[in-house]
């Protein structure tokens, strides 16, 4: 089975669950944070939304230089979060769908100017920086939703609000 064919059903499923979660983010609570050291709700949702774009970078480029300046998304509205997410997901999906096994096993490096911070196959970039990283922050977001009495969607099985086996 081609690597992309093993990945895409999972990608679609996880991005659909992620969208369901982002749709629940209460717009009037974007500035809320559970603790002074925490990200705000708006920034956390934005971080989840921007992340699939790293999949496009991870597949279509051979490296990223952190010193080249990256502007993190800090959306002001849920509509802005969802629009960014949808665009990033579509582009990442197209990049993965167009990648051969040889492409995906090719090396990708994270750099900071002259220094190379890490090198890994492109499929590992998609796995760690996109898939696992989105799942991690989406889990955080589910707690933020709960703390603000927003209904938490079923993610891996029922939540306290929805889905009964």
Smallest distance, another protein to C-beta of residue 129, A: 7
Residues 6+ apart with CB under 8 A from 141: 21, 22, 25, 41, 44, 45, 48
- Our CB check for another protein shows the closer of 109 and 142 to be 142
Residue choice 26, 37, 75, 81 for contact with another protein (CB under 8 A): 37
Q: What span, in angstroms and rounded, lies between the C-alpha atoms of 100 and 86?
A: 24
Q: Which of residues 125-154 bind another protein (CB under 8 A)?
A: 127-129, 131-133, 135-140, 142-144, 146-147, 149
Number of residues that bind another protein (CB under 8 A): 35
Of 68, 69, 114, 160, the one binding another protein by CB under 8 A = 160
Tell whether residue 2 is a contact of another protein (CB under 8 A). no
Is there a contact between 159 and 17 (Cβ–Cβ < 8 Å)?
A: no
Strand partners, 111: 65, 116
Provide the H-helix boundaries in 24-115: 41-50, 52-60, 78-97, 101-104
**CA separation (Å) from 100 to 97, 104, 165?**
8, 6, 39
Which residues partner with 43 through β-bridges? none
Please, what is the angle between helix 41-50 and helix 52-60, to 10°?
A: 30
- One residue of 23, 38, 70, 94 binding another protein per CB under 8 A: 38
- Which neighbouring-strand residues pair with 116? 111
Closer residue to another protein, CB minimum distance, 85 or 129: 129
Interface with another protein in residues 54-93 (CB under 8 A):
66
Task: Sketch the per residue contact string, 96 through 115, with another protein: x for CB under 8 A, - otherwise.
Answer: ----------------x---
Q: Summarize as ranges the residues that interact with another protein (CB under 8 A).
A: 6, 10, 13-14, 34-35, 37-38, 66, 112, 117, 124, 127-129, 131-133, 135-140, 142-144, 146-147, 149, 155-156, 160-161, 165
């Amino acid at each position: 089975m081609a690597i992309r064919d093993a990945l895409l059903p999972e990608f679609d499923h996880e991005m659909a669950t992620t969208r369901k979660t982002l749709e629940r983010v209460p717009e009037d609570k974007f500035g809320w944070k559970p603790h002074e050291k925490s990200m705000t709700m708006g920034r956390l949702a934005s971080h989840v939304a921007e992340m699939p774009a790293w999949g496009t970078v991870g597949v279509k480029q051979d490296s990223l230089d952190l010193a080249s300046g990256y502007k993190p998304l800090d959306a002001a509205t849920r509509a802005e979060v969802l629009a960014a997410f949808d665009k990033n997901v579509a582009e990442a999906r197209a990049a993965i769908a167009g990648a051969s096994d040889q492409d995906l096993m090719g090396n990708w490096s994270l750099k900071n100017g002259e220094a190379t911070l890490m090198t890994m196959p492109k499929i590992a970039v998609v796995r760690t920086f996109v898939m696992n990283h989105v799942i991690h922050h989406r889990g955080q977001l589910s707690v933020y939703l709960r703390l603000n009495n927003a209904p938490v969607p079923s993610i891996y099985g029922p939540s306290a609000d929805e889905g009964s086996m």
